């Protein structure tokens, strides 16, 4: 969680100063979900993400240098600098890909789960998406097909109460997204997505069901983003578009998943404060080094722009 947070926050300054130019959707505040879910998976399991997927990539074991280089659109990036922040992929560690189209990877995740089932492999697939994706028809088609074929897939909905700047109450008659699993006879849960242990427990249980052929499972994780929808503070051409009430942001700051877990570890004498501080310093060093690597790296050669698009 600390690696994700410090990596995300390290993008703020280069975005504001124009060194990073692709749109960047920061994951700060939602770290417990990627971390708790991926801790319950094996490397060979698949994860599919969305426009806000740096955390999924890092939690699944992605290389931080390649992530940072991708966000600077440099050649050694995980998409060879051609994708930017919203095209994050590392198939070698099961990060099967993320795309900017809302709900765009859900049906791909279902396809991957179908392939695993046909091949009788014990691997599973996790499809991460936001509350906004619950307004896309493809989710319902995917739930139906996955349930019909009993596929080993977890639908992981990260409900942060907003879809861009639209509060969920303006998009849905009620805010109980996990209930959409019921008509398809899908086992569904809702948990506190800012409590990493709860996230881990519910995912471990759901992974067990999927590996036994009792999938799919739907999990709604309640959370909140601590940054703007896109960029650090949604300041688009000097117009602040983050209309979330200040009291609401303050309330969620108190539920910061990292501070909560650190307090738990200290209270239960599992870890000492000095060790937590040492972890912070080590991660800060890793992040700094990743930025240096990215800045020193070349941009892709314009003549090779389509190199990975078409098969040669």
Ligand X SMILES: Cc1ncc(C[n+]2csc(CCOP(=O)(O)OP(=O)(O)O)c2C)c(N)n1
Residues that bind ligand X (CB under 6 A): 51-52, 100-102, 130-133, 160, 162-164, 229
Termini Cα distance of the chain: 40
Question: How far, in Å, CA of 26 to CA of 224, rounded?
Answer: 12
In the bound state with ligand X, the residue whose beta carbon lies nearer, of 116 and 252, is 252
Give the one entry of ligand X, Mg ion, none that residue 102 binds, where binding means its C-beta sits below a cut-off of 5 to 8 angstroms depending on kind. Answer: ligand X
Question: How far, in Å, CA of 15 to CA of 232, rounded?
Answer: 8
In the bound state with Mg ion, the residue whose beta carbon lies nearer, of 171 and 209, is 171
Q: Which residue is nearest to Mg ion (CB)?
A: 130
On the CB side of 53, CA atoms within 13 Å amount to 35
- Other CB atoms closer than 10 Å to residue 250's CB: what's the count? 9
241 exposure class (CB count in 10 Å sphere: 0-12, 13-18, 19+) = middle
In the bound state with ligand X, the residue whose beta carbon lies nearer, of 36 and 130, is 130
Residue 130 binds to Mg ion (criterion: CB under 5 A) = yes
Q: What is the b/e burial string over 291-310, where b = at least 16 CB atoms within 10 angstroms of the residue's CB?
A: bebbeebeebeeeeeeeeee
Residue 131 binds to Mg ion (criterion: CB under 5 A) = yes
In the bound state with ligand X, the residue whose beta carbon lies nearer, of 125 and 160, is 160
| Displacement of CA 75 from its chain's centroid (Å) | 23
For residue 50, the minimal CB distance to ligand X (Å) is: 6
Give the one entry of Mg ion, ligand X, none that residue 100 binds, where binding means its C-beta sits below a cut-off of 5 to 8 angstroms depending on kind. Answer: ligand X
Cβ(79)–Cβ(70) below 8 Å: yes
In the bound state with ligand X, the residue whose beta carbon lies nearer, of 81 and 132, is 132
Question: How far, in Å, CA of 244 to CA of 273, rounded?
Answer: 33
Q: Which residue is nearest to ligand X (CB)?
A: 130
The residue from 160, 203, 206, 262 that contacts Mg ion (CB under 5 A) is 160
Give the one entry of ligand X, Mg ion, none that residue 87 binds, where binding means its C-beta sits below a cut-off of 5 to 8 angstroms depending on kind. Answer: none
Question: How far, in Å, CA of 294 to CA of 66, rounded?
Answer: 8
Run of H or E residues at 126 = strand 125-130
Cβ(1)–Cβ(261) below 8 Å: yes
In the bound state with Mg ion, the residue whose beta carbon lies nearer, of 171 and 265, is 171
Applying CB under 5 A, the span of 19-27, 131-139, 231-239, 285-293 interacting with Mg ion comes to 131-139
For residue 21, the minimal CB distance to Mg ion (Å) is: 24
Give the one entry of ligand X, Mg ion, none that residue 164 binds, where binding means its C-beta sits below a cut-off of 5 to 8 angstroms depending on kind. Answer: ligand X
Question: How far, in Å, CA of 42 to CA of 207, rounded?
Answer: 10
For residue 164, the minimal CB distance to ligand X (Å) is: 4
Give the one entry of Mg ion, ligand X, none that residue 135 binds, where binding means its C-beta sits below a cut-off of 5 to 8 angstroms depending on kind. Answer: none
In the bound state with ligand X, the residue whose beta carbon lies nearer, of 75 and 234, is 234
Give the one entry of ligand X, Mg ion, none that residue 52 binds, where binding means its C-beta sits below a cut-off of 5 to 8 angstroms depending on kind. Answer: ligand X
For residue 110, the minimal CB distance to ligand X (Å) is: 17
For residue 30, the minimal CB distance to ligand X (Å) is: 8
Return the closest-CA partner of residue 50 out of 23, 75, 68. 23
On the CB side of 216, CA atoms within 13 Å amount to 32
For residue 6, the minimal CB distance to ligand X (Å) is: 20
Binding site for Mg ion (CB under 5 A): 130-131, 160, 163
């Amino acid at each position: 969680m600390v690696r994700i947070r410090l990596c995300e926050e390290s993008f703020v300054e280069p975005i504001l100063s124009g060194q990073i130019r692709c749109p960047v959707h920061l994951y700060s505040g939602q770290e417990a979900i990627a971390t708790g879910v991926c801790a319950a998976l094996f490397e060979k399991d698949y994860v599919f993400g969305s426009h806000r997927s740096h955390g999924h990539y890092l939690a699944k074991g992605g290389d931080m240098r390649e992530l940072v280089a991708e966000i600077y659109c440099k050649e050694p990036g995980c998409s060879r600098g051609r994708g930017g922040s919203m095209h994050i992929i590392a198939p070698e560690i099961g990060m099967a890909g993320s795309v900017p189209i809302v709900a765009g990877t859900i049906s791909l995740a279902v396809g991957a789960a179908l392939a695993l089932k046909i091949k009788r492999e014990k691997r599973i697939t996790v499809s991460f998406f936001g509350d906004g994706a619950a307004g896309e028809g493809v989710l319902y088609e995917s739930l139906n097909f996955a349930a019909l074929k009993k596929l080993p897939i977890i639908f992981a909905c990260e409900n942060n109460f907003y879809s861009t700047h639209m509060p969920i109450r303006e998009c849905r008659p009620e805010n109980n997204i996990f209930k959409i699993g019921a008509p398809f006879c899908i086992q569904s849960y809702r948990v506190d997505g800012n409590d990493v242990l709860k996230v881990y427990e519910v995912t471990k249980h759901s992974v067990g069901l999927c590996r036994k052929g009792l999938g799919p499972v739907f999990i709604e994780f309640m959370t909140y983003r601590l940054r703007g929808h896109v960029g650090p503070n949604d300041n688009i051409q000097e117009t602040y578009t983050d209309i979330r009430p200040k009291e609401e942001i303050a309330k969620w700051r108190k539920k910061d998943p990292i501070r909560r877990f650190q307090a738990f570890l200290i209270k239960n004498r599992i870890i000492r404060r000095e060790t937590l501080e040492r972890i912070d310093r080590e991660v800060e060093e890793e992040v700094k080094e990743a930025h240096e690597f990215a800045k020193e790296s070349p941009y892709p050669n314009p003549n090779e722009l389509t190199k990975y698009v078409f098969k040669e």
